[in-house]
Amino acid sequence: MRIILACLLAVIGVTNIVEAQQSAVAKFTLPKNTTSHDYQAGKVMVKIKKEYKALFLEDNKATARSASLLGAKRIHSLAPRGTIKNPKARAQAFKPVIDIAQYFEIYFDPSQPVEDYINTLYASGYIELAEPVYTMHMQYTPNDPAFTSQYYLSKIKATEAWDITQGDESIVIGIIDSGVDIDHPDIASQLYVNQAEANGTDGVDDDDNGFIDDINGWDFSGADTLNALNPNYGGDNNPAIFKSGAGFTHGTQVGGCASAAVDNGIGMAGVGFKTKLLFTKHYADNQRTSDRNYSSDLYLGIKYAAENGARIINCSWGGDVRSQISQDIITHVTMDLGCLVVAAAGNSNVITPLYPASYDYVLSVAASDQNDNRASFTNYGPTVDISAPGVSIYTTSFDNNYSAPGGTSLSSPIVAGAAALVWANHPEYTSLELAEQLRVSADASLYDQNPGYINQLGKGRLDVLQALTLKSPSIRASNYRLLNKDGLDAAPGEDASLLFDFKNFLATSSSGLEISISSTSPSITITESKINPGSIASGATINNISTPFKLTLASSIALNSKVELLITYTDGAYRDYQIFTFVPNPSYRDIDDNRITTTISSSGRLAYEDTQNSQMGSGFFFNGKSLVYEMGVIMGNSSPTILNTVRNGSGGFDQDFVSVQRMEEIIPGERSLSEIFGAFSNSATAEEQKVKVSYRTLVWQNEPYDRFVIVEYKIKNTQAAALTDFYFGLFADWDISLNGTQDAALWDAPTKLGYVYPKVSTELPQAGIQLLTTKANYYAIDNDPSIAGGLSFGIYDGYTDTEKFKSISTTRSQAGVKIGGNDVSQVVSAGPFNINAGDEITVAFALHAAENFDNLLASAQYADSVYNYTLKASLPSIDTVEACYKANTTLKATGATKYKWYKDFTGGEPIATGSQLTIPAVTTDTTLYVSNATNTYESLRVPAHIVVQAQPGILTSRSTVLCDGDSVTLSVEEASEYAWNNGEITQSIKVKEAGTYSVMIKYEDANLNCVSTSSEVVVSILPRPMALFTITMASGDFVIGESIQFTDKSSDADAWFWDFDDGSSSIEQSPEYAYAASDTYHTSLTVTGANGCQDTYIKDISVITGVEQNLSRFVTVYPIPTIQNEVTISIEGLKAKNIGLSILTTEGTPVYDASFENIDQAFSHTINTSRYSSGLYFLATRIDGRLVVKKFSIIK
């Protein structure tokens, strides 16, 4: 069990957990730089282990008996009471993503250090996770009393959005904050009303939600800050505030931004318009007016709001410490209750994450000013999703007043109000789709003002009109896989394929979608950075297995180091990005292929890489129950030479090894179902190494081999001298019974199995370590040194190197002998060995768990037989056989007298016996397995491969669902002859027509002459929209600064993207635009249909600097109208050196262009107009850089 200093017992006076406290190891430590002001004294949040949930719940309530189990004053369950009022909540018949009934709020003696109490909780054995209740801080800046306009409404286009929707009173925003001025004229009419309580009986919980008379919300803090320490205080039903001050009025300011009343003739207008507000109060009435810290747990407010009708939850506050329990609450209200959580990114002008804004599923909001500049105070970074105005935000304040504070505290509710409008207009959205629509529609021109913060302020600045009208994809990557050429995890120095799952949350993407990756990390070199996956339907998820990104890993990537990737998405008007972080070189891996789940680390530990905090690993589980606290390697030939990875004599943990060969996993393994292998040593420097230990795990899935994991170590003496009297062992602190306090340890000599079992229960499992090689030793430890009575040592007072050497080199066959048992550990070792310089020995262990001793003993016998007999039996030989598609194929084994054939590497019954096996009509590459069954112990199975010149698969260059006019290339592997069913005879063909395609292929080689017909590929064609537009000029001239009206004339278009060829673009259907420079522009319109197909129409527009009216009298154009297929231009009375002539249509399209140089006399030039249609034209004459424009018409 865990270690704790004996002096702690004097300050913890709870008798029923004293024994657990004695054995507790410090499992929890407060984050660096955390002080007592950063968390609430006397209160923690916990997650109870699943198997003990029923013990702590009685009709969904925690009882006094539950509190006594944890030495608590009182505990409160977070399990909901009554019916969840959120219409987006998942039906209760579904398995929840988060089982909220495992979560509890615990009150304890506030004079007790929170670290000590949490470690006591972990020592109890009931707790999976325990954390302090961290203090949250408001995210606002001081008022600017001179600023009294709501500029932000026009900035985010709220007024235009209100022309589309004014929201819906059924949508409620939860304002989790300091409370509200409940009588404010711009707030009172917007308050959510719980009708069951409003129309019910006073003093009665009419809706049975656990909160009496909660008509408008709930006050979690009440009148006094001391309520936070009172385990019997449950809050009151009045979230109102009663005095002014920055802290008190914060919630009112936030609520006004979200949804203050509109069209009531006074004050201001909130973004949410008709949207209702539900307030929770977490600020005590007697707090200092300048206090920015909340006095009660805001995450309980989030949960309350989500369960009681709020669809959107605003959090204008945050803290620097990440809490897994808080993340679980966010996950629960999002994934199980269907809410959207919006949160302030923070006001510290740092890239450091703030929580809850940086939790998964939260829409994180940074602040901008009225000119789209980044607010000087706002946090930024890859966790920010969107920006919104947050400087001088005019909003409601206490006592019917108004103020103009700033901060991401105000940016967040502005986005929350926008979310309510969008949800009212698109009730079909899930909360995640709603968040993506807000994010993807944000105005990315924000970055024009903030070039130093690219991709650090979210997608852009909130645009409510766009959020209501834009139809765009929103694609997000997840589930990365980094594989080498063999399909295994890529190692440092290897070429790798990077695979993702890509989910499109919103509108179907077009066939032109491009996804690319980039990185500034020196750990990788990207060699193939772009893919074109084709159209991704709304809600669909695809992967890029067939077109992976390619990269090379640097050979020097440090263990557990992170690589940051920028993923860029491009599809017409859709421009998006995502920052993705992954770990290419982890230091530990889980083993979970049978009934045991455990972890092996690259540095000699088992169960956990980080034992002290029980992190970076899965522990040791059997049938879902955790059985171990600590497990690791001990080796040496004397006390001074001990090398190990377990606890030490001074309260910490030794870490004497470093990885010297990267940990890898292969499936299937060379000898078992899967194998993890690598090597560690006492030093990374070869000259300093004393030993090099190579390790390999072996695991099987089928009975009777599913209750153990084998760990094989090869210990090499890397020193110049012989290593004498050397021992190598595994230490384990098993906890079978609750806290391990009723366990005993014994030794079974015939099987060389040291095992631990619960003395007072036959319902709990048993576990142990078995030595599979020679020279076994066993040492059983009573962890409490007082139990041994001086005859042995314990480890509550530390585990010294002297004690470690004693435990690997001597024997003690039992521990926990007293009635009822006690906390025990064990060491199973091998030795002594003499290892010459450069030589190595093999020591192998089996880690077992079983339902009872009979099964444990049987498991040990099976482990011994498989390791010492099956794996060592001579193997049969068999060659790989090549075969044509659908040919009968015979496998022939040699090297034994009797053979057995199997479908799988492990498990299952034989499918045949004898030296030969014929497989009829083989269609794919096939692997069977054959064993040597000559002797009592059957050998390991050897793979027998059939390599088929398989039915050729047709490779496609892109999706076979084409837009009209597109093509796809179909190709097959190289062969000698090809015959496609459309008559073509090449290896690859380009297809534009719909149809079903196949190819017959003939192979010729020295062994086989196969003829095969491919599988079929179906190509389908989708109709393409037609892009077209016209141009109208207000002045009739294409002049700099003059507005040009672009009018869409397309058909079957669903989205529009204009490229004005000067770096500007638009997604309006028919925009107006003015060019700022003289040039010829290739202006294009790309339209996208509802099916994702696109079409582009391009016009050339020549823009001039302006017309020189004073030169017009020297220029003559005739005849007008032109009816003889000629037009003449004459320049008289003006001497010019260079003249240019252009004829343009009324839409600005050039149809004629010519230039003349070194003119020193009167000029005249005739142009043939026979190829031009009737209509009005412009003749633009450039005279030494000055422009004259004349109109003329052609009549035919």
Residue 17 CA to residue 116 CA, distance in Å, equals: 13
140 has pLDDT over 70: no
Whether 356 has a pLDDT exceeding 80, the answer reads yes
Structure letter (DSSP) for residue 352: S
1137 within 8 A of 1185, measured Cβ to Cβ: no
* The amino acid at 788: A
Tokens 């891996």 locate to: 589
Q: Who wins on pLDDT, 494 or 91?
A: 494
Residue type at position 27:
K
| Cα–Cα distance, 741 to 24 (Å, whole number) | 11
CA nearest neighbour of 950 among 1027, 1044, 885? 885
What pLDDT does residue 97 have?
78
Provide the pLDDT for residue 1161. 73
How is residue 194 written in tokens? 């719980």
Tokens of 235: 């809050």
Q: pLDDT: is 386 or 131 the higher one?
A: 386
* Nearest partner of 1129 among 1160, 1101, 1169, 1157, judged by Cα: 1169
Q: Bigger pLDDT: 166 or 71?
A: 166
Per the structure block, which two tokens stand in for 1008?
């086989």
Sole residue written with tokens 């789209």: 372
Q: In CATH, which superfamily holds the domain spanning 877-949?
A: Immunoglobulins (2.60.40.10)
pLDDT tops 60 at residue 1107: no
Q: What is the pLDDT of residues 473-487, one digit of tens each?
A: 999 999 888 988 888
Tell me the chain's radius of gyration from C-alpha atoms: 38
Domain boundaries along the sequence of the chain: 6-134, 138-469, 475-582, 588-870, 877-949, 957-1022, 1029-1103, 1109-1194
pTM over 0.85: no
Q: Any idea which residues carry the catalytic annotation? A: 177, 250, 409
Q: Which position has the higher pLDDT, 26 or 259?
A: 259
CB-based burial of residue 286 (10 Å sphere; 0-12 exposed, 13-18 middle, 19+ buried)?
middle
Q: Is the pLDDT of residue 59 over 50?
A: no
- The answer to whether 108 and 72 are in contact (CB under 8 A) is yes
What is the 8-class DSSP label of residue 686?
A: G
Q: At what angle do helices 408-425 and 431-440 cross, to 10 degrees?
A: 110
* CATH tag, 138-469: 3.40.50.200
Distance of CA 426 to the CA centre of its chain: 26
Domain 1029-1103 has CATH 3.50.50.60: no
What is d(CA 46, CA 820) in angstroms, rounded to the nearest whole number?
29
Task: Give me the count of residues in the chain.
Answer: 1196
The two structure tokens encoding residue 341 = 């959580």
Question: Alpha-carbon distance 1172 to 1194, whole Å?
Answer: 8
Taking CA atoms, 102 is separated from 60, 222, 332, 623, 944, in Å, by 10, 27, 12, 19, 50
Count CB neighbours of 532 within 10 A. 14
Query: Confidence class of residue 688 from pLDDT cuts 50, 70 and 90?
Result: very high
Closest CA to 663 of 771, 551, 584, 563: 584
Q: Quick: pLDDT tens for 1016-1058.
A: 899 999 999 999 999 887 555 566 778 889 999 999 998 889 9
Distance of CA 711 to the CA centre of its chain: 32
Sheet holding 1079-1088, edge to edge: 1065-1066, 1055-1059, 1079-1088, 1094-1103
How many whole angstroms separate alpha carbon 447 and alpha carbon 135?
Answer: 34
Confidence class of residue 814 from pLDDT cuts 50, 70 and 90? very high
The residue type at 156 = I
SS3 348: coil
pLDDT higher for 806 or 480? Answer: 806
**By three-state DSSP, how is residue 840 classified?**
strand
- Sign of the Cα pseudo-torsion (329, 334, 339, 340, in order): positive
- CATH number belonging to the domain at 1109-1194, selected among 2.60.40.3080, 2.30.42.10, 3.40.50.140, 1.10.3300.10: 2.60.40.3080
* CATH architecture group of domain 475-582: Sandwich (2.60)
**pLDDT at residue 7, rounded to an integer:** 28
Among the ranges given (26-35, 296-305, 624-633, 907-916), the one the predictor scored with the smallest mean pLDDT: 26-35
Listed in sequence order, the residues at least 6 apart from 870 whose beta carbon sits closer than 8 Å to its beta carbon are 937, 938, 939, 940
Nearest to 137 by CA among 282, 235, 304: 282
Mean pLDDT lowest among 521-525, 527-531, 1124-1128: 1124-1128
Tell me: pLDDT of 19 over 60.
Answer: no
**Residue 911 in tokens:** 């499918």
Cis peptide before 832 (omega within 30 of 0): yes
- Each residue of 954-989: b (16+ CB within 10 Å) or e? bebebbbbbbeebebebbbeebeebebeeebeeeeb
Residue partners of 415: CB distance under 8 A and separation at least 6? 342, 363, 365, 386, 388, 438, 462
- H helices present in 125-240, as ranges: 151-155, 158-162, 195-198
Inter-residue contact 700 to 857 (CB < 8 Å): no
Confidence bin at 92 (pLDDT 50/70/90): very low
Distance CA 924, CA 945 (A): 11
Q: In terms of Cα–Cα distance, which of 602, 812, 599, 577 is closest to 709?
A: 599
Alpha-carbon distance 189 to 263, whole Å?
12
**What is the C-alpha to C-alpha distance for residues 1184 and 232, in angstroms, rounded to an integer?**
91
Per residue in 199-255, pLDDT (tens digit) is 999 999 988 888 999 999 999 999 898 888 888 888 999 999 988 888 889 999 999
SS (H, E, C) 941-1008: CEEEEEEEECCCCCEECCCCEEECCCCEEEECCCCCEEEECCCCCCCEEEECCCEEECEEEECCCCCC
Q: Mean pLDDT in the chain?
A: 87
- Which residue matches tokens 């009018």? 1047
Query: What is the bridge-based pairing of β-strands 926-932 and 899-902?
Result: antiparallel
Q: Which residue in 906, 912, 899, 910 sits closest to 704, CA to CA? A: 906
Long-range contacts at 546-551 (CB < 8 A, ≥ 24 apart)? 548/483, 548/497, 548/498, 548/499, 549/497, 549/498, 549/499, 549/517, 550/495, 550/496, 550/497, 550/498, 550/526, 551/495, 551/496, 551/498, 551/524, 551/525, 551/526, 551/527
Q: What dotted CATH number matches 588-870? A: 2.70.98.10
| pLDDT tens figures, 153-190 | 999 999 999 999 999 999 999 999 999 999 999 999 99
Q: Which residues contact 835 (CB under 8 A, 6 or more apart)?
A: 715, 716, 717, 722, 723, 726, 841
Of the pLDDT bands very low, low, confident and very high (cuts 50, 70, 90), residue 339 is very high
How far is 639 from 636, CA to CA, in rounded Å? Answer: 7
Give the mean pLDDT of 470-499: 90
pLDDT of the residue at 287: 87
In tens, the pLDDT along 585-627 reads 888 898 988 889 999 999 999 998 888 777 788 889 887 788 9
Whole-number pLDDT of residue 472: 93
Residue 707 half-sphere exposure toward CB, CA atoms < 13 A: 25
Residues 620/847, Cβ–Cβ less than 8 Å = yes
Domains 138-469 and 1029-1103 share a fold: no
DSSP label at residue 211: -
